[in-house]
């Protein structure tokens, strides 16, 4: 048996779990860099097992049908929106998942608040300035008393609201199906979509990418925002019209953006986003924490061993499929 562990950007997969029993029965190759879509079928042709890290690499029908030796696809996390489950099922490929990870529920909102604080107090700029002999080159802003707007109030959005309240921020929220009662349960006030963009001093995005939310934030929504506002995205890059966001930032129609996700990941070296000064950028670190990785890979090992021994693997029912990348 040959196993491919894909998109292990930090080269830590084999350190996060005990793979020794698998090494006795299989060869393991770890890919630290993304496999290009145009060569994926050739690169993965000889593998029987593919281990995917979240949604970093889309696994569609066209690719699956070009991998005749593939028998098992291991997903880290409870679902994967870029995997064609129907195509895998038609080919008789087993797809297994890892259970919901409680650490991930805190990891993304904690990173979002890191981006908020970094943007509000210009921490990256001042850090670089200190290393080059400069002293106090910017003037920041406090969060207390400013309005936190949440575009989505699900599991992560609710945690964001709790932390915002602790900072002394009034919290407003909008999503298509949000009710007054649900918002009030975490100390937030439900508003309409336009009001959310107009009143937010910090606007943080926490909705799932779907056909409904793709490019949900475009030029019209950005035009409603305060020139002093900070926009945070730790959800999916495709929720924002990237071109409209670049223009708004370059023209300083909004003050800052803290971005952890992008339309194309890894972010290309020539992306204009890399050159915009009023941004704080991180490379999709929202769920990337030691605790989550250890659970992901430990359960991946368990699934592979169970499959090899003819025992049941973790098979969870994923939500409706949509487009996205992790």
Residues noted as catalytic? 236, 265, 284
196-206 core/surface letters (b: 16 or more CB in 10 A; e: else): bbbbbbbbbbb
User: Could you give phi then psi for residue 170, rounded to 5 degrees?
Assistant: -60, 140
Lookup: tokens for 245: 């966001």
User: Could you give phi then psi for residue 208, rounded to 5 degrees?
Assistant: -80, 140
Lookup: tokens for 112: 């979002």
| DSSP state letters, 234-264 | -S-GGGB-HHHHHHHHHTTSSSEEEES--SS
State the burial class of residue 59 (Cβ atoms within 10 Å of its Cβ: 0-12, 13-18, 19+).
buried
């Amino acid at each position: 048996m040959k196993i491919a562990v894909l998109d292990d950007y930090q080269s830590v997969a084999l350190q996060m779990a005990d793979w020794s029993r698998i090494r006795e029965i299989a060869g393991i190759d770890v890919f630290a860099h993304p496999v290009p879509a145009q060569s994926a079928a050739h690169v993965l042709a000889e593998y029987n097992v593919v281990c995917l890290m979240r949604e970093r690499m889309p696994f569609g029908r066209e690719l699956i049908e070009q991998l005749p030796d593939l028998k098992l696809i291991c997903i880290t996390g409870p679902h994967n929106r870029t995997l064609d489950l129907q195509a895998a099922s038609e080919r008789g490929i087993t797809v297994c998942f890892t259970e919901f990870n409680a650490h991930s529920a805190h990891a993304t909102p904690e990173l979002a608040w890191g981006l908020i604080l970094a943007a509000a107090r210009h921490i990256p700029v001042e850090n670089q300035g200190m290393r080059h002999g400069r002293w106090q080159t910017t003037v920041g802003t406090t969060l207390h008393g400013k309005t936190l707007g949440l575009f989505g109030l699900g599991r992560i959005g609710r945690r964001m609201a709790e932390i915002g309240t602790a900072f002394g921020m009034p919290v407003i929220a909008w999503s298509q199906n949000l009710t007054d009662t649900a918002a009030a349960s975490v100390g937030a006030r439900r508003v309409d979509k336009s009001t959310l963009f107009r009143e937010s001093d910090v606007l943080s995005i926490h909705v799932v990418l779907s056909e409904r939310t793709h490019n949900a934030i475009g030029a019209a929504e950005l035009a409603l925002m305060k020139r002093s506002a900070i926009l945070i995205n730790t959800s999916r890059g495709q929720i924002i019209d990237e071109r409209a966001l670049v223009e708004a930032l370059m023209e300083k129609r909004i003050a800052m953006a803290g971005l952890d996700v992008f339309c194309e990941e890894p972010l290309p070296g020539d992306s204009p986003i890399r050159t915009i000064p009023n941004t704080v950028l991180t490379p999709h670190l929202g769920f990337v924490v030691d605790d989550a990785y250890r659970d992901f890979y430990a359960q991946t090992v368990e699934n592979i061993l169970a499959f090899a021994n003819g025992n049941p693997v973790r098979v969870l029912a994923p939500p409706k499929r949509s487009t996205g990348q992790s």
